A and B are shown apart, each in its own frame.
Chain A
Amino acid sequence: MTRHHVINAVVSFVLGAALLAALCFAALQIISWNWSGVWSYREVFWQGWFTTIWISLAALALSVLIGLLAALGRRAPYPALRWLSAGYVELIRGTPLLVQLLILFYVVADAVGLQNRHAAGILILSIFSGAYIAEMIRAGIESVGKSQLESARAIGLSRWQTYRHVIFPQAMRHVLPPLAGQAASIIKDSSLLSILGIGEFTLAAQQVNSATYSTLESYLPLAVGYLALTLPVSILARHLERKYRYET
């Protein structure tokens, strides 16, 4: 990071913090805070926060796997596989996550006897996110030039060796930055799992709210808790973007 970037970041942070402080100060004048009521539920917050973290990590890993399979499926030599992959991506990207959660959880998971809420939630979130990651990986693979594939053919690499030694390492630089952004999306989207009764961060905050009737005191920490996770990931994403842009 250059000095210019550091100054920029510091100035933005100070301005943002000042604005937030002013807002809070104004709010202080109007409402009477009840932080002590919420504070006694801090364990609930922590547990929800950590649940969100591990659910997101699991969903990220699984969705990369699903995305990779779907991206390879779209390039498979068999038309049936190509159509299946394309259909999956379009279907998932064309419907809201909330609708997918309702259908897959209450209809499909129920029908196949998947009882574990956490497993079902992670799976659905991964299926959703995997469709977006599939497109990122596909774009990364397609960014590898034709001459590279020809070179791989000329030296006698097999299909799999070509992916392993030539395509994947070169596609990585195109895939990593948007993938880091997708990780932030997964963290935010995992909040919807609260409607399935999964005890993650958002559900925890809702429970604290109904126990204390302190809405703002319950939901402000919620927003801050998500930001604490997504901001570092966003910074990582931007860092990766810069790093790979210059290294051509």
Chain B
Amino acid sequence: MLLHFHNLTKRYGAQTVLDGITAGLDFPHVLVLLGPSGGGKSTLLRVIGGLETPDAGTLTLDGEPVPSEAKPLRSYRAGIGTVFQSWNLFPHLDALANIMLPLTAVHGLSPAEARTRSMELLERLHLADHAAKRPAELSGGQRQRVAIARAVAIRPRLLLFDEPTSALDPEMTAEVLDVIADLKEEGRTFILVTHAMNFARVVADQVAFLAGGRLIEYGGAQEFFSNPKTDTARRFLDRVLRY
């Protein structure tokens, strides 16, 4: 997948979160966004997902510009699977209905087709027994796996993970990371924002390092972790990998 940013800028009030990023990011399957908190990773991910509109600049995905008008933007978002830090499942729907809703309401599947596809996914994620449970009855790890199933079920062109394990304890983190690693095995394309450095190292093809709203460094994962080119990235890695 080829992502191209040109002068991409996003401000919240007086604060500039993305500071005119111009870059071409070419990655086979998995791109990991790293960097200090407040550096712009999550905002960049949200701009890529069509959830935030940039104040200036453009963004293309495989050469296609991300639309800015409401209707094409909505179908653009519908083609991308987003997984949030706090899963954002619909609390009034059970696990199965959560996965089925985008399929029937947005992607035009019949309820029967949607049910079959959703149950297949639930079984693959070992969640079949929990299909009829609402999010409140599930553990954090189970919720996040349901959220991943919801994002994968639509057969997206791209998956986005926004710190998918930051709200989970270590055991649940592992069960969610296992699923994400499987997605890579299946050859899916995704962009991941995470603070789980060791996992990032294993799963990433390419790494983009952001700080202060700028893209500081971009390159292959092995290269980035063993031999970062910039001082900022080196200091960051020293800090987060110290313990």
Contacts and interface: CB of A to CB of B under 8 A. Distances in A.
B105 A165 contact: yes
26 contacts: A151-B84, A151-B89, A151-B90, A153-B51, A154-B49, A154-B80, A154-B84, A155-B77, A155-B82, A155-B101, A155-B102, A155-B150, A155-B154, A156-B74, A156-B77, A156-B79, A156-B106, A157-B102, A157-B105, A157-B106, A161-B105, A165-B90, A166-B90, A169-B92, A170-B91, A248-B136
A152 B89 CA distance: 10
A158 B101 contact: no
A70 B74 CA distance: 27
Contacts of B150: 155
Contacts of B91: 170
Contacts of A12: none
Interface string B47-58: 001010000000
A158 B71 CA distance: 9
Contacts of B154: 155
Contacts of A166: 90
B88 A148 contact: yes
A222 B49 CA distance: 63
A43 interface: no
Contacts, number: 51
B172 to A, nearest CB: 19
Given A147-B84, A165-B105, A248-B136, A154 B51 contact: yes
Q: Which of B79, B84, B92 has the most CB of A within 10 A?
A: B92
A147 B86 contact: yes
Interface string A163-188: 00110011000000000000000000
Given A155-B77, A161-B105, A169-B92, 20 more contacts: A147-B84, A147-B88, A148-B90, A150-B51, A150-B84, A154-B49, A154-B51, A154-B82, A154-B88, A155-B82, A155-B106, A155-B150, A155-B154, A156-B78, A157-B102, A161-B106, A165-B90, A165-B105, A166-B90, A248-B136
Interface residues of B, number: 23
B88 A151 contact: yes
A165 B75 contact: no
B99 to A, nearest CB: 10
Contact of B92 (A154, A155, A161, A170): A170
A28 B77 CA distance: 76
Contacts of B75: 156
Contact of B77 (A147, A148, A154, A169): A154
